[in-house]
């Protein structure tokens, strides 16, 4: 049983992650918050509200940070489209964004259920960092943080840095040094976590199936052009890790974020093969996934929405 707070920068794979999370037995979404990342905060908030409408859910959505703690904002609109959802047309949101800032809403939710709430973060970690700084008690209130970000090896934004970390490395280091148990789904696992064109084609002809196909068409082409087997659904990994950990492999390791490097800027420096060079093994680093099982659970979740 997991109760989660979902913090996202809704882009295409965040959207599939939300749709998948909503249909997981044993997982309760307590609240949602949004952050600037793939696109601006206004777009990520509107996209998140529209996805809630698509799933027929009435979750409150709390907007958070419009940009990183101390850096220039960067985005990934070249991949996710100018609106963040590949130009798909969805009905206007049925609900307005909440007024309480994301970091206060997260803290208040965690305080209502001490030790029970897991933060799932699929965008830059700005909101989480602000929450931890503004409310130090949050450290002992959260059950854990399951995030998509970073990589033990490699990068997609630079040779050694992943987008969510590169967008706000200072925030990421606040989170990684918080002492909260962290599950890191970095590129090591998420680049194995793809969904093929045939799997998208086989989704039912429902609003959710049609949305999934339309939103992913552009990003799919870009992924396939790089020789991938399909579109990497990075942000689904922390969701399905919580509900189906048997699909994944990984190990406990020390991880910290380089905030001052030049070529190594925003690398999640991961001490996988030793346990002594960082003081603590603070992170469970997810490294592998049963790709077919992962895709089957997504197919099941997306297919469960009504026509």
Report, as residue numbers or ranges, the catalytic residues.
Answer: 234
116 within 8 A of 143, measured Cβ to Cβ: yes
Instruction: Give the shortest CB-249-to-Ca ion separation in angstroms.
Output: 23
Instruction: Give the shortest CB-1-to-ligand BDR separation in angstroms.
Output: 25
Q: Which of 162, 173, 188, 271 binds ligand BDR (CB under 6 A)?
A: 162
Closest by CA to 294, choosing from 249, 240, 251, 243, is 240
Q: Which of 4, 7, 14, 34 binds Ca ion (CB under 5 A)?
A: 14
Instruction: Give the shortest CB-116-to-Ca ion separation in angstroms.
Output: 24
Confirm or reject binding of residue 46 to Ca ion (CB under 5 A).
no
Q: Which of 24, 127, 164, 259 binds ligand BDR (CB under 6 A)?
A: 164
Confirm or reject binding of residue 122 to Ca ion (CB under 5 A).
yes
Instruction: Give the shortest CB-75-to-ligand BDR separation in angstroms.
Output: 9
16 within 8 A of 233, measured Cβ to Cβ: yes
Query: Could you tell me which stretch among 9-17, 20-28, 55-63, 279-287 binds ligand BDR (CB under 6 A)?
Result: 9-17
Q: How are strands ordered across the β-sheet holding 182-185?
A: 61-63, 27-34, 2-8, 117-121, 142-148, 182-185, 283-289, 248-257, 268-271
Confirm or reject binding of residue 75 to ligand BDR (CB under 6 A).
no
Residue number of the CB atom closest to ligand BDR: 163
- The Cα 69–Cα 34 span in angstroms is 15
x/- mask, ligand BDR, residues 251-280, rule CB under 6 A, reads ------------------------------
CB atoms inside a 10 Å sphere around CB 256? 19
Q: Which of 7, 14, 83, 271 binds ligand BDR (CB under 6 A)?
A: 14
Q: Which is nearer to ligand BDR, 105 or 236 (CB)?
A: 236
Q: What are 104-108's contacts with CB under 8 Å, separation 24+?
A: 104/131, 104/134, 104/135, 105/31, 105/33, 105/60, 105/62, 106/5, 106/7, 106/31, 106/33, 106/62, 106/131, 106/138, 107/131, 107/134, 107/135, 107/137, 107/138, 107/141
Confirm or reject binding of residue 84 to Ca ion (CB under 5 A).
no
CA pseudo-torsion sign 226, 227, 232, 234: negative
What SS3 class is residue 117? strand
Closest by CA to 128, choosing from 173, 74, 79, 190, is 173
Confirm or reject binding of residue 238 to Ca ion (CB under 5 A).
no
Confirm or reject binding of residue 40 to Ca ion (CB under 5 A).
no
# chain residues binding ligand BDR, by CB under 6 A: 13
Q: Which of 19, 148, 183, 253 binds ligand BDR (CB under 6 A)?
A: 148
**Structure tokens of 144?**
């854990």
Binding site for ligand BDR (CB under 6 A): 11, 13-14, 38, 76, 122, 148, 156, 162-164, 234-235
Binding site for Ca ion (CB under 5 A): 9, 11, 14, 122-123, 235
């Amino acid at each position: 049983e997991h109760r989660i707070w979902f913090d996202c920068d809704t882009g295409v794979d965040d959207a599939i992650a939300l749709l998948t999370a909503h249909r997981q037995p044993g997982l309760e979404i307590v609240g949602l918050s949004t952050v600037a990342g793939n696109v601006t905060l206004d777009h990520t908030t509107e996209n998140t509200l529209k996805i809630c409408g698509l799933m027929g859910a009435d979750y409150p959505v709390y907007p958070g940070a419009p940009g990183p703690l101390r850096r220039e904002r960067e985005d990934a609109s070249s991949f996710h489209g100018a609106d963040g959802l590949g130009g798909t047309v969805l009905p206007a949101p049925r609900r307005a964004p909440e007024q309480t800032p994301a970091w206060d809403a997260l803290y208040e939710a965690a305080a209502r259920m001490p030790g029970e709430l897991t933060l799932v973060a699929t965008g830059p970690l700005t909101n989480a960092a602000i929450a931890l700084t503004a409310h130090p008690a949050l450290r002992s209130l959260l059950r854990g943080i399951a995030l998509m970000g970073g990589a033990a090896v490699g990068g997609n934004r630079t040779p050694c840095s992943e987008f969510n970390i590169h967008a706000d490395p200072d925030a990421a280091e606040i989170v990684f040094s918080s002492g909260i148990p962290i599950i890191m789904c970095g590129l090591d696992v998420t680049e194995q976590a793809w969904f093929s064109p045939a799997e998208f084609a086989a989704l039912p002809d429902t609003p959710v199936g049609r949305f999934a196909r339309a939103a992913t068409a552009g990003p799919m082409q870009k992924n396939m052009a790089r020789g991938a087997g399909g579109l990497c659904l990075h942000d689904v990994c922390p969701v399905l890790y919580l509900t189906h950990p048997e699909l994944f492999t990984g190990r406990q390791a020390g991880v910290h974020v380089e905030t001052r490097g030049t070529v190594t800027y925003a690398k999640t420096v991961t001490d996988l093969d030793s346990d002594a060079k960082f003081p603590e093994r603070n992170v469970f680093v997810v490294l592998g996934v049963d790709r077919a099982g992962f895709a089957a659970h997504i197919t099941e979740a997306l297919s469960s929405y009504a026509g």
